[in-house]
């Protein structure tokens, strides 16, 4: 379960990076070039989107990398990442895979309470 959390967390973080790049770039482009009514409009929560564009993929990759050694902390970071992506970007065709991957990875990491190795987090 820890290996699955590692792989899903890192893949979810990489896909989340693409969503973050686009979201941060979109808010910056609209701020710099202005709005086009009905086509390009600024988001209501620019600060949240920009923060989540950086932090959510970072938390997903860090949580996935930690899942083998420290499953509890890795699972918490993965679930925070999934929640941050959902809160900032919503659930749509571009975010469904990073949210699902990081959410499942977080649950798998938390479920690895009794691993084969002696380091249990419970």
DSSP states of 1-70: -HHHHHHHHHHHHHHHHHHHHHHHHHHHHHHHH--BTTTB---S-HHHHHHHHHHHHHHHHHHHHHTTT-
In 3D space, the residue among 78, 93, 58, 80 whose CA is nearest the CA of residue 4 turns out to be 78
- Cα–Cα dist 48/72, whole Å: 26
Total-model pTM = 0.88
Would you list the domain boundaries of the chain? 2-111
Residue 108, pLDDT > 90, answer yes
**pLDDT computed for residue 115 by the predictor:** 57
**pLDDT computed for residue 112 by the predictor:** 86
Weakest-pLDDT range from 4-18, 50-64, 107-121: 107-121
């Amino acid at each position: 379960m820890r290996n699955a959390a590692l792989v899903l967390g890192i893949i979810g973080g990489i896909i989340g990076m693409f969503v973050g790049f686009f979201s941060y770039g979109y808010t910056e482009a609209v701020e710099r070039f202005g709005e086009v009514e009905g086509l390009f409009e600024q988001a209501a929560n620019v600060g949240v989107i920009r923060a989540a564009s950086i932090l959510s993929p970072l938390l997903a990759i860090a949580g996935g990398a930690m899942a083998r050694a420290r499953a509890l902390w890795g699972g918490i970071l993965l679930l925070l990442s999934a929640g941050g992506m959902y809160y900032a970007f919503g659930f749509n065709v571009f975010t469904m895979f990073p949210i699902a991957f990081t959410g499942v990875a977080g649950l798998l990491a938390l479920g690895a309470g009794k691993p084969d190795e002696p380091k249990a987090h419970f």
